[in-house]
Amino acid sequence: MANEAERIKSIVDSQRKFFNTDKTLDVDFRIRQLLRLRAAVISHEEELKEALSKDLGRDPFEAYFCDIGSLVLEINETIKGLKTWAEPEIHFSGIHCFPSIITKVYKMPYGVTLIISPFNFPILLSLGVLVASIAGGNTAVIKASSKSKACTEVMQKMIAETFPEKYVTVIGGGHDVADICLEQRFDKIFYTGSPKVGSHVMEMASKNLTPVALELGGETGNWCIVRKDADIKDAARKIAFFKALNSGQICININQVAVSEEVAEEFIDELTKAFRKKLGKSPVNNKEYPHLINDAAFEKCEKDANRYRDRIVFGGNGDINTLRFSPTVIFPVDIDEEIVKRELFSPLLPVVTYKDDDIETLLKKINERERGLALYVFTSDMDWAERTMQRMQFGGGCINEVCLHMMVKGAPFNGVGHSGMGAYHGEWGFKEFTHPQTVLFGSTKFNLPLREHPYHRAWKDVMIHLFER
């Protein structure tokens, strides 16, 4: 790996040298690069779809909706807003700073950035973060996942055709290569993945005091709560859609459902109907249904399912040859069972029941666990739903909907605690990849000796109390 370490160090050094030419400070330059990136994504659409099919079994429609089209929208939003976002803020310094009354806040790039991306949305979670890095005026090294090999290869080709290595490049390889990257001195690191690896990234970054943004799945998974007053059929349809999407391999996916025991049987019935309607009697044989990323993920999913074989009410079967494992509903499950205390990242869906009148106990239990990246509630009581969303701690979520919050223009996508730190998408991504640098414009005339020695003058005491109150 010595040669690989030398190569990566050389890339970082060349990017730092390029950044120091100040070319990336020009906002028009950044917009031109975003236009080039958009053109590259559009021209490579079919290759990207094919790669997503090879790696994850994605149907072309799902590939475009989840990765490619969402990326184009992100680029469009950034191009449209960048000049406004990058404008220095002008502040009145305050009378206590007189006569230096003008202060500006410049939005400065960090410099050379490292983007470590996952396998589950290999295009969007690599190039979507790149959009924010470019917008901020940085250079970027993308360490793409070794699990989604086909997508990594297409991105390497596409980025090499579009940008010089000294500006943007994509690196493949496994955890050993990621560690080599983390040993370099970057100016900003953005990691998407598991909390365990996120802790490792922070530890490595701390050696150089490098600021880090983390987008993590959450250690104990994302909850979905279905109240007894919810539209049960609507809730079941949306939950079934989301759990089947990317075969459950989504950081904001529903990890477990808590359903009011008063409507639990109805919910299970509607949920199984929804899965059959969307994927047929045998989802494993449906070519529109994505597969798990590799043998290890399949075997882990199958092992979990086998432990709860006697409580599987839908699914539970898979095909190791295609890596497809059916959406699997496990019911009933106690809230303290092991399967609802960790992120599953699979098509398994444990269903917990609770008494609707005792909803506060459920919320307390959820809040005692590690913070999720998402929370979803289905209810007709909007007052309760809003109160709940404003007092629970999680990354983001929906009321009577799933997943769409991360697609809203101008809204941040973020985590908290074990589900991450920092935020991006649109202007929030620009802010994540820039440092607000405050500069006061001093005056050489009319300066009062108020702040200078000697202090003990009666007029100074009067003035300072007048100005600073």
Q: What is the pLDDT of residues 348-363, one digit of tens each?
A: 999 999 999 999 999 9
Where, residue-wise, is CATH 3.40.605.10 in the chain? 2-216
Amino acid occupying residue 465: H
Give the pLDDT confidence score for residue 179 in this predicted structure.
96
The listed CATH number (3.30.390.50, 3.50.50.60, 3.30.300.30, 3.40.309.10) that belongs to domain 222-409? 3.40.309.10
What is residue 96's DSSP assignment? G
Q: How far from chain centre, in Å, is Cα 89?
A: 28
Domain 2-216 is of which CATH architecture?
Answer: 3-Layer(aba) Sandwich (3.40)
Task: State the pairing for strand pair 318-319/312-314.
Answer: unpaired
Q: Which of 188, 169, 175 has the alpha carbon at shortest distance from 10? A: 169
Considering Cα of 310, then 315, then 318, then 324, what sign does the dihedral take? negative
Longest dimension (CA), the chain: 88
Give the pLDDT confidence score for residue 2 in this predicted structure.
78
Give the pLDDT confidence score for residue 467 in this predicted structure.
78
As a whole number of angstroms, the distance between CA 192 and CA 199 comes to 12
Asked if 157 and 191 count as a contact pair (C-beta separation under 8 A), the reply is no
In sequence order, the 6+-apart residues with CB closer than 8 A to the CB of 70 are 124, 128, 407
How many residues make up the chain in this entry?
Answer: 469
Give the pLDDT confidence score for residue 329 in this predicted structure.
98
Q: Which of 237, 186, 188 has the alpha carbon at shortest distance from 16? A: 186
Of 62, 74, 77, 215, the active-site residue reads: 215
As a whole number of angstroms, the distance between CA 121 and CA 107 comes to 29
Q: Which spans in 87-184 are helix H?
A: 124-135, 149-162, 175-183
Asked if 154 and 53 count as a contact pair (C-beta separation under 8 A), the reply is no
Q: Which of 327, 227, 317, 324 has the alpha carbon at shortest distance from 277? A: 327
Can you give the pTM of this predicted structure? 0.95
Give the pLDDT confidence score for residue 454 in this predicted structure.
87
Number of neighbours of residue 235 by Cβ within 10 angstroms: 28
251 is catalytic: yes
Cis preceding-peptide flag for 454 (omega within 30 of 0)? yes
Task: State the pairing for strand pair 420-421/413-414.
Answer: unpaired
Where, residue-wise, is CATH 3.40.309.10 in the chain? 222-409
Give the pLDDT confidence score for residue 289 in this predicted structure.
97
Asked if 326 and 318 count as a contact pair (C-beta separation under 8 A), the reply is yes
Task: State the pairing for strand pair 222-226/254-260.
Answer: parallel
Amino acid occupying residue 269: D
Instruction: Identify the residue whose tokens are 């120091």.
Output: 20
Q: Is 157 helix (H, G, I), strand (E, B) or coil?
A: helix
As a whole number of angstroms, the distance between CA 280 and CA 285 comes to 9
Give the pLDDT confidence score for residue 350 in this predicted structure.
98
Of 66, 181, 224, 251, the active-site residue reads: 251
Give the pLDDT confidence score for residue 455 in this predicted structure.
83
With a cut of 70, which residues of the chain have pLDDT below it?
1
As a whole number of angstroms, the distance between CA 49 and CA 40 comes to 14
